[in-house]
Amino acid sequence: MDTTGSIIVALDCDHRARAEEVVARLGDDCGFYKVGLELLTAAGPDVVTRLVAGGKEVFLDLKLFEIPHSVAGAVRAAGALGVSLVTVHAMGGREIMAAAVEAARDFPRLRVLALTVVTSMTDRDLADIGVGASTGTQVLRLARLAADAGCHGVIASPQDVAGLRSVLGGDALVVTPGVVLPGEDPADHARPGTPGAALAAGASHIVVGRSVTAAGDPAAALRSIRRGLTG
């Protein structure tokens, strides 16, 4: 299994210097990074353009949840930055997702992913907002809606991957945050899974964060994860 492009490192940093340090230390060992709201707010879009200019792919995790016109504008802005993946909230509904997909058509490299249920949420959290379904049921419901709206794939927990493959088929992207190493603290993730289990279940990409970025030697940590997936 070639895992080179399937591992995305999350730059969950609160300032540019820290993100640039991680990227420099990983060097050629990592070609795909996630930039989320924290780093984007702290460092601005230039952090994305620098990564793209350096030959890296970028997953811009915006989690867009707005009126369709605004979502389309944000997706076009993401496409202009040269990113490869951008996220919208599936719970925003069909029109928001369809608007994002339509806006992405002008950027052949850009793929729209629908966030199903964030990995920190439990059945109880869904009940608090009036959703009576379990997380697993809600993930599949939203994934079907995302597919109908034309999204290229979904974001879901490692525990949801197998069910998603049965619904979406083999071609859709299934990107999994909430990936932790065996014995590692899952932190905020209520529905975590290991890198190997996520890929074995059919994830197209796994997102790793502190397992790599907080390591004494990030490049060695990433190579160790990769060896564990191919060994």
Residue tagged active-site, from 63, 141, 144, 165: 63
Alpha carbon 136 to chain centroid, angstroms = 18
Residues 26 and 202: their CA atoms lie apart, in Å, by 26
Tell me, yes or no, if the pTM score tops 0.75: yes
Distances (CA, A) of 189 to 54, 152, 196: 31, 24, 17
The amino acid present at 34, given as its one-letter code, is K
Q: Is 56 a catalytic residue?
A: no
What one-character DSSP code corresponds to residue 15? Answer: S
What domains, with CATH codes, occur in the chain? Answer: 58-230 (3.20.20.70)
Beta strands in the chain (DSSP E): 7-10, 32-35, 57-64, 85-89, 111-115, 153-155, 173-176, 205-208
pLDDT, one tens digit for every residue, the chain (231 residues): 455 579 999 999 999 999 999 999 999 999 999 999 999 999 999 999 999 999 999 999 999 999 999 999 999 999 999 999 999 999 999 999 999 999 999 999 999 999 999 999 999 999 999 999 999 999 999 999 999 999 999 999 999 999 999 999 999 999 999 898 888 888 889 998 999 999 999 999 999 999 999 999 999 999 999 988 865
Sequence-ordered alpha helix ranges (H) in 27-86: 37-43, 46-53, 68-81
